[in-house]
Structure 1
Amino acid sequence: MRRADRLFQIVQFIRGRRLTTAAQLAQRLEVSERTVYRDVADLQLQGVPIEGEAGVGYRLGKGFELPPLMFSLDEARALVASVRMAQVWQDPALAQASQSVLSKILSILPPAARVAAQGMAVYAPPIGLDPTLQPCLQMLREAVQSQTKLHLHYQDGKSAHTQRTVRPLGCFFWGSVWTLAAWCETRQGFRSFRLDRLSHVRPLDEPNHRFADEAGKTLADYLRSAAPVHVQNTLTGDL
């Protein structure tokens, strides 16, 4: 790693934490603590307001802003590959936003690095999310973000049809299918719904159908309750 890149990462890491020790920086950057002490001292001499001292920890003074981000070639290649793979499984709005972000990132790279990143030989064939499910995924994601309840028509793995009112908590991708994790008000418990088994989805737009986080019914509670059996059921279609 170039020293300039290491100095930049030190500032980034310190900025993202309340207090950072030299040991943490050394482990993150794979250098000695002595190197960290020297680098921090040089940054302080250059006017970066790093507060603290060796043996105690460091933090960044208020009001300091970094110059525009620069990316290494490997980082740019990783972004290109990630966007290519994700776009075929995202909803239309996220796919378009991903491409926009990638274009902005590539635009700040030197020409040779930009060409090399765009030539990354990693591709995702267009056989991802069924086009008929893309608008549904976008609706579900937006309902999660706005905390809007949904009314669902659902067919489970045994072909039983039910109607549910749910609090959408998160959208999960399992490599072949998307599911909606939710608190089901009909069943009074956490449930996962495969998108390919939803026949109808309708947001409940009235103000009283917005929900707030409630103990025992949040995404964090759902994740704590998840178990390997649930994952297996998701992939086999037994939900």
Structure 2
Amino acid sequence: MTLSLSGKTALVTGGSRGIGRAVVERLTADGARVVFTYHSAEAEAASLTAATGAEAVRCDQADLGTLPAIFEPVRDGLDILVNNAGIAFARTLAEITFEDFDRVLTINTKFPAFAMQAAIPLLRDGGRIINLSSINTALPAPGGALYSASKAALEQITKVAARELGPRRITVNTVSPGATDTDMLRSVNTPEGLERAAGMTALQRLGTPPDIAAVIAFLAGPDSAWMTGQNLHAGGGFLI
């Protein structure tokens, strides 16, 4: 087995469950030292730490005051930042409140953007930033105005960051999962909707968190050094 990330340090937000958990498992398996954040899933975070040796840090992305604490364990240097944490939100435009707007945009866009800013002085040259978006920016659905907008904004910030950090050989990319079987997906879709999504996918199934983690591991590793400012749609052919 080749430990392609041996000697590297990674910070993964929202690592206790779903896609984030699979990313922590994959990056540690590839040899990286991993720090991950969690919000309320304390038991899941503890079990992940026990299984992988990764370090857990509690964080509330609705509160930017918690941002400095997540970088404390990596003050000695960082190689990989994965902005994974986010919330799904289904509400029609007619129903959205000011509070809804602020919460979704803060968690899904503002916090990741300032996490990137905080990471810049810590990232070693040749580092990696990987931001999680969604297929919904390309295929927006009713009720998804805030979610799609928050992720679309993050995609544009990613492209600008790729230009700005390119001189240091730091790559900045987006991964946009398709319909991936997580608690978040199931919380905003009916079983019938999930069945339809699987049927619309070229590979005829929902994605799994390890499917997405594999794409993120590629972007975190040495073979992706010539790829930056890109948005990889990891959806099994949901969008072609």
Query: Normalising TM by the smaller chain, what interval?
Result: under 0.3
TM-score (norm. length: structure 2): 0.23
Specify the structure having the higher radius of gyration (Cα): 1
Q: Which structure carries more relative contact order (alpha carbon 8 Å, separation 6+)? A: 2
